[in-house]
Amino acid sequence: MKHALKIFACNSNDGLASEICSRLGVRPSQLDISRFSNDNLHVQIQENVRERDVFVVQSFTEPVSDHIMEMLITIDALRSASAQRITAIIPYYSYARSDKKDKPRISITGRLIADMLVTAGANRVLTMDLHADQVHGFFRVPVDHLTAIPTIADHFRQNYDLGNMVAVATDAGGAKRVGRFSERLGIPMAIIDKRRVSDTDVKQGEVVGDVRGRDAVIFEDEISTGGTLISTINTLRAAGARSIHAGAVHGVLCGPAIERLREAAIDSIVVTNTVYVAPEKQLDKLTVLTVAPLFASAIERIHSGESVGALFE
């Protein structure tokens, strides 16, 4: 059935898209994205997609608005070119953080972007580790929600002694996610009391759980500016942790993140390639794991009508 399969990559994460294609044994399909002199985006599909099963890969990373528009226009162009089915592959859906109305007169932007993707012509969505699980329900089309927890857990299992390790949630909101991670490794967990002061500032209090003399693994869905991570590191050091490591699915690493992490008293950091990590962001203590095998398997199962959930059973 692979003759009917087409994979297009927009500009945010060519490396991941190429690796997915390589694992599936298909070549990346041809797409031209350019700009007119007035800065408007122009997208042209450069091969026949009529009655084909088409997948478009794009992470919503900086510049986020440009990358969202690239995907929307690409999906619309594919629909106009008579693609049979269009699946939006969004390894990192950044607007999942805008999942609720926690202030007056604001947009629940995670829902807005979901509506825009469907309006453009997306028939289904494939994504990974949304910041909030309820964002899954924002879409009016089927969504396959992958997780990199097994990938990151396997890295720690293969490289560290789990006998003295404890998984740490940076706040109560992340406890469910960290619970899945700790269960996968068979290690205990701890939770830190956190209060967010602003977008970049957090205030942390006591550690709930035993970390003294132990190897702590902070687990998050993403590392953005690194503010929460640095605060957590300081809290764990004060609580007597022997060593500190961090695992996160999305290594966004924006703003002051790299400077903060370079100087941080942390032993290792692990992220995945859902977000492209530029050479200038690749620290010695940073490891980037690939999730291409997981996306390739999910694409193959979607294309052939098999269960995607079976990947995690």
Mean pLDDT score of the chain: 94
Among this protein's residues, is 194 annotated catalytic?
yes
Who has greater pLDDT, 313 or 3?
A: 313
Nearest to residue 88, comparing CAs of 80, 78, 98? 78
pLDDT in tens, 5-37: 999 999 999 999 999 999 999 999 999 999 999
pLDDT in tens, 234-291: 999 999 999 999 999 999 999 999 999 999 999 999 999 999 999 999 999 999 999 9
**Per-residue confidence band for 57, with pLDDT thresholds at 50, 70 and 90:** very high
- Tell me which of 194, 203, 281, 285 is the catalytic residue: 194
- How far apart, in whole angstroms, are the C-alpha atoms of residue 3 and residue 26? 9
Residue 172: its pLDDT value, please?
86
**Per-residue confidence band for 194, with pLDDT thresholds at 50, 70 and 90:** low
What mean pLDDT comes out for the span 165-178? 93
**Per-residue confidence band for 193, with pLDDT thresholds at 50, 70 and 90:** confident
111 token code pair:
């829902």
**Per-residue confidence band for 206, with pLDDT thresholds at 50, 70 and 90:** confident
Residue 112: its pLDDT value, please?
97
Residue 133: its pLDDT value, please?
86
Long-range contacts (CB closer than 8 Å, 24 or more residues apart) made by 277-281: 277/251, 277/253, 281/251, 281/253
- Going along the chain from its start, the domains and CATH numbers come out as 2-147+292-312 (3.40.50.2020), 149-289 (3.40.50.2020)
The pTM assigned to this predicted structure is 0.94
Whether omega before 104 lies within 30 degrees of 0, making that bond cis, reads: no
Q: Which residues of 278-294 are buried (b: 16+ CB within 10 A; e: fewer)?
A: eeebeeeebbbbbbbeb
pLDDT in tens, 131-162: 988 899 999 999 999 999 999 999 999 999 99
